[in-house]
Amino acid sequence: MARVRGFGAFLWDFVVGDDWRSAVGVAVALGVTAVAAGAGVAAWWIMPVAAVGLLGASVWRAMG
Amino acid sequence: MSGPEVGLALSVLAACAVEAVEALTIVLAVGATRSWRSALTGVGAALLVLAVITAALGPAVTALPLGVLRVVVGGLLLIFGLQWLRKAILRASGLKALHDELAAFESEQAAARGAGGLGGLAGGLDAYSFTVAFKGVLLEGLEVVFIVLTFGANQHNVPLAAAAAAVAVVGVALAGLVAHAPLSRVPENTLKFGVGVMLTSFGIFWGAEGAGAHWPGGDAALLAIVPATLACALGMVRVLRRARVGAARRDAVGA
């Protein structure tokens, strides 16, 4: 059990890293892009805008 | 070589060089301080595990439908890229200490000296040297494997990604062999900034495409996304530097 937990912690650290909010933001942005693209709306701009916003927020949080 | 292929090769080369420099520092520190034989056996064991992981994951990743692959890989690359870029921006603006390979080497050596006597494994191998070298190479190597497989599969060119990674790893290993010291002269912080920009840019591009969006200009959109991401990151560095200098001036006046 401890090994499974350890592997889970490693995987979380490897994939999500030290800012889970950015990871959630990326997932949400991908979802919004998929919905917008599915509705036939131009959706290419959503990911760049989200990336800039998420990066700025992440830097801001890191500064405390 | 097309534009996206050049981007692929350069991104993989830079990212893998950074990972290789970090792994080299760990191996050099435990090898020089405790036992070369044990450290190099640890490196060999880690490479074996990485080869097995690559053989198992490679066909699975390349067999995924391109849309699924791009949305998953794009998302992961963007998450990784944002983390690299955040740290690089904080370092470049002076809000976080620069990564110093020499300091990392000395810290690793101090830990190796304080880890007790040699031995502990069959064949007279030193357990500490073996384990630290194994873990270091495995963890940095996993990132190399991930980058090679995801970039390569997305561009339908795993061999090019693998070749770029091999050039980076062999180049760093040879340089370490010649220098017999951590590669502190490698502009690691600049490389990390560049890798953060590339991971973020490819993550934005593939993530949006995988989610069903169509880029104006197709693949050529990358030629706009990369410089725009770089400009944005440099702009944040500039703003943070100004804020830091302004705060220092206010503190000096107030003192």
Angle subtended at Cα B59 by Cα B58 and Cα B63, rounded to the nearest 5 degrees: 120
- Residue B255 within any structural domain of the chain: no
Least confident of B109-113, B154-158, B212-216, B250-254: B250-254
| pLDDT (average), residues B64-76 | 85
B179: pLDDT strictly greater than 80: no
Q: Judge whether B190 and B17 are in contact, CB under 8 Å.
A: no
A63, two tokens: 């500064």
Cβ pair B210:A30 closer than 8 A: yes
B117: pLDDT strictly greater than 70: no
- Tens of pLDDT, residues B227-255: 999 999 999 999 998 888 877 777 777 76
Domain residues for the domain of A52 are 18-62
Q: How many CB atoms lie under 10 A from the CB of residue B224?
A: 14
Number of domains in chain B: 1
- Residue A12 within any structural domain of the chain: no
pLDDT, chain A, mean? 89
What pTM does this model have?
Answer: 0.79
DSSP assignment, residue B126?
B
At A2, the amino acid letter reads A
Domain residues for the domain of B197 are 3-249
Closest by Cβ to B71, choosing from A30, A54, A59 = A30
CA–CA gap between residue B126 and residue B110 (Å, rounded): 16
Closest CA to B157 of B11, B5, B16: B5
- Residue A57 within any structural domain of the chain: yes
Residue B104 neighbours by CB under 8 Å, 6+ apart? B22, B25, B182
Cβ pair B216:A44 closer than 8 A: yes
| pLDDT (average), residues B201-210 | 92
Secondary structure class of B226 (helix, strand, coil): helix
| pLDDT (average), residues B33-62 | 87
% of chain B with per-residue pLDDT over 90:
25
Q: Judge whether B108 and B21 are in contact, CB under 8 Å.
A: no
Please tell me the predicted confidence (pLDDT) of residue A30.
Answer: 96
- Tens of pLDDT, residues B119-130: 666 667 888 889
**What is the distance in angstroms between the Cα of A8 and the nearest Cα belonging to chain B?**
15
The gap from C-alpha B224 to its chain's centroid, in whole angstroms, comes to: 24
Please tell me the predicted confidence (pLDDT) of residue B30.
Answer: 87
Number of domains in chain A: 1
Nearest chain A residue to B218, by CA: A44
Does the beta carbon of B75 lie under 8 angstroms from any beta carbon of chain A? yes
% of chain A with per-residue pLDDT over 70:
100
Cβ pair A37:B211 closer than 8 A: yes
Does the beta carbon of B214 lie under 8 angstroms from any beta carbon of chain A? yes
Distance of CA B165 to CAs A12, B11, B14, B75, B210, Å? 25, 10, 9, 22, 25
Residue that wins the pLDDT comparison between A17 and B42: B42
Does the beta carbon of B222 lie under 8 angstroms from any beta carbon of chain A? no
- Residue A37 within any structural domain of the chain: yes
B144: pLDDT strictly greater than 80: yes
Residue to substitute from A26, A32, A45, interface B, most B β-carbons within 10 A: A26
Contact list, B211 vs chain A (CB under 8 Å): 30-31, 33-34, 37, 43, 47
| pLDDT (average), residues B75-87 | 91
Helical packing angle, B158-179 and B3-33, nearest 10°: 30
Please tell me the predicted confidence (pLDDT) of residue B184.
Answer: 67
- Residue A23 within any structural domain of the chain: yes
- Compute the radius of gyration of chain B from its Cα atoms: 21
